[in-house]
Structure 1
Amino acid sequence: MDNEENERFSPIKSLLGLLSFSTIIPVNQYTSIEYMTRLVWCWPFIHLVIGILAAVCGIICADVLHLNSFFTAVLTYAFLMIITGYNHLDGVMDMADGVMVHGDPQKKISVMKDSSVGAGGVATLFIVASLTVAGIYNVLDYGCIAAIIICEMVAKSSLLTTALISKPLDGGIGCYFIYSTNMFNYILSTIIVGVIAYLVGDVIGIIGLVGAIVAGALIAFIAKRNFEIANGDVLGMSNEVGRLMALLFMSVALFFL
């Protein structure tokens, strides 16, 4: 019997596996993808910690190094991308390329899975990254450092929203995350995320979560219309757009509240 057959499910190993999968933190903890995704509903809580680290980075840039809000926003976004190993950026480009090409779902899927990147993918990544930096800059202008913590946590809620309402493409890693997301663990995860978001950012935190959920539903709709299915690239796009939409919703709310 191989290691996977002999392995027993361990919540700690699963959580550490998710941490290792989505960051460059040297956990050096192996667990099978099936066991790791059993606790996929806990993913936002892992990225709550990443969001806290990003907020610390922002505080150091602004209060210790005395950098302006724009420079702080760029460095904070760069920190998030580096610590997450640029994990979802290829998903943004691949899904965008698939959506941009004309043809039936099978042709679009083949383009999405192609290793080469087209102009649509590069342009979409630039737009998403630029708007995310602008969003961080905007919340920093309001002095809402908590928004950085919230946007990183709820980005995973966006991903889970897409996973919940999407049909998986069999054969890829993404299908394990989609199969492991059900209504019960999704609602449980969302409620806990909502409580944390409120404790961290009051009403602004809840509004950020709503923005992320809207993003997840939107990406799922676009994927269904173009591909009929979702895979890891679609989930990656949902994560990045979820972070962006959370920042957008919180930025608007900060103006009015």
Structure 2
Amino acid sequence: MRNLLSFLTRIPVRGDFERVREELWVFPLVSVVTSLPPMVILYFGIPLANLLALLTLYSIIGLLHLDGLADWADGVMVKGPREVKVKAMKDVNTGIAGVFAVTAVILIQLHSLSLAPFYSIFLAELNSKFAMLLGIGTRKPLGRGLGYYFMEGMNGRQLVYGTVLYLVLYAIPILYDPRAILGILGIIPGVYAIKISLENFGGINGDCLGAIAEITRAGTLLIIAVILNL
């Protein structure tokens, strides 16, 4: 997992990037590391816990996924054929759609964390990493960038192993609180983001994976917060 941590987080560990695609099935396990510090903050309920937890999370995972979300949103929202959408997504300048998407995702997470149980951040990160794995599992790369590199190493065995690992990890919070099973619905926004990516761009690249990760995490937190407060 060290190789994945060096790539998916800002944790100063040395890893071999060339071996990352051999360990794609371990994606769900990374969520344990990334969510533990913010989960501790939420558990003790210190003042502004939701804000501090979110800041802690992004200090661990970095802002690369948010950057991908901004580019992805610009591409999705622009009108025109697929070539125009891909060009907009790859534009180095961030448009209003990207700004709106990033702002919305941050605000949704921030407010939802104040209403959801402390373990929700773990479920959200777990769903986020699993959704990324599902996106890679489509094996429909856009270009020859990061998505292509990952998809070259993806196969049925890695997807099955990753799914089993996801379910095992998900069972842990359910044993603590049976209501945690509701969070599995959070994978739906991620699957929908994959669908939108394929429809708009014809494939998935690094920006799409970042968007899938962010949308899934925010969607999971929102679903848990809404359902548990009905």
Task: Check the 8 A contact 1:96/1:120 in 2, yes or no.
Answer: yes
In structure 2, C-alpha distance between the alignment counterparts of 1:78 and 1:200, rounded to whole Å:
23
Residues 95 and 112, structure 1, Cα contact 8 Å, conserved in 2? yes
Q: Report how many residues are paired.
A: 228
> Match of 2:88?
111
Change (3 A) 1:238 1:123: same
Cα distance in 2 between the residues matched to 1:150 and 1:32: 26
Among residues 1, 4, 17, which one is paired with 1:32 in the alignment?
Answer: 17
Larger radius of gyration: 1
Distance 1:166 1:121, change over 3 A: farther
In 2, Cα distance between equivalents of 1:180 and 1:241: 24
- Gap regions ≥5 residues in structure 1: 1-14
**Percentage of matched positions with identical amino acids:** 30
The residue aligned with 1:19 is: 5
TM-superposed CA distance for 1:37, in Å, is 1.4
Aligned mates of 2:184, 2:198 — CA distance in 1:
23
What is the aligned partner in structure 2 of residue 208 from structure 1?
183
Query: In the alignment, which residue of structure 1 is the partner of 2:41?
Result: 57
Counterpart in 1 of 2:99? 122
Residue aligned with 1:102, SS = coil
Across the aligned residues of Structure 1 and Structure 2, the Cα RMSD in angstroms comes to 1.8
- Does structure 1 conserve the Cα–Cα contact (< 8 Å) formed by 2:79 and 2:85? yes
Letter in 1 for 2:118: I
Note the residue ranges of structure 2 that are not aligned, 5 or more in a row. Answer: none
Structure 2 partner of 1:132: 109
Q: Distance in 1 between matches of 2:22 and 2:110?
A: 33
| 1:131 CA displacement | 0.7
TM-fit CA distance, 1:194: 1.8
Distance 1:40 1:210 in 2: 23
Equivalent pair of 1:146/1:201 in contact (CA under 8 Å): no
1:251 positional shift:
2.5
User: Aligned partners of 1:145, 1:235: CA distance in 2, in Å?
Assistant: 26
Tell me: higher relative CO, structure 1 or 2? Use CA pairs within 8 A at least 6 residues apart: 2
When normalised by structure 1's length, the TM-score is: 0.82
TM-score, reference length from structure 2: 0.91
**Residue 98 (str. 1) matches residue 75 (str. 2):** yes
What is the CA-CA distance between 1:54 and the residue it aligns to?
Answer: 1.5
Q: Shift in Å at residue 249 of structure 1?
A: 2.8
- 1:90-142 alpha-carbon deviations (Å, 9 max, x no partner): 11100000011111111111111111111110011101111111221110xxx
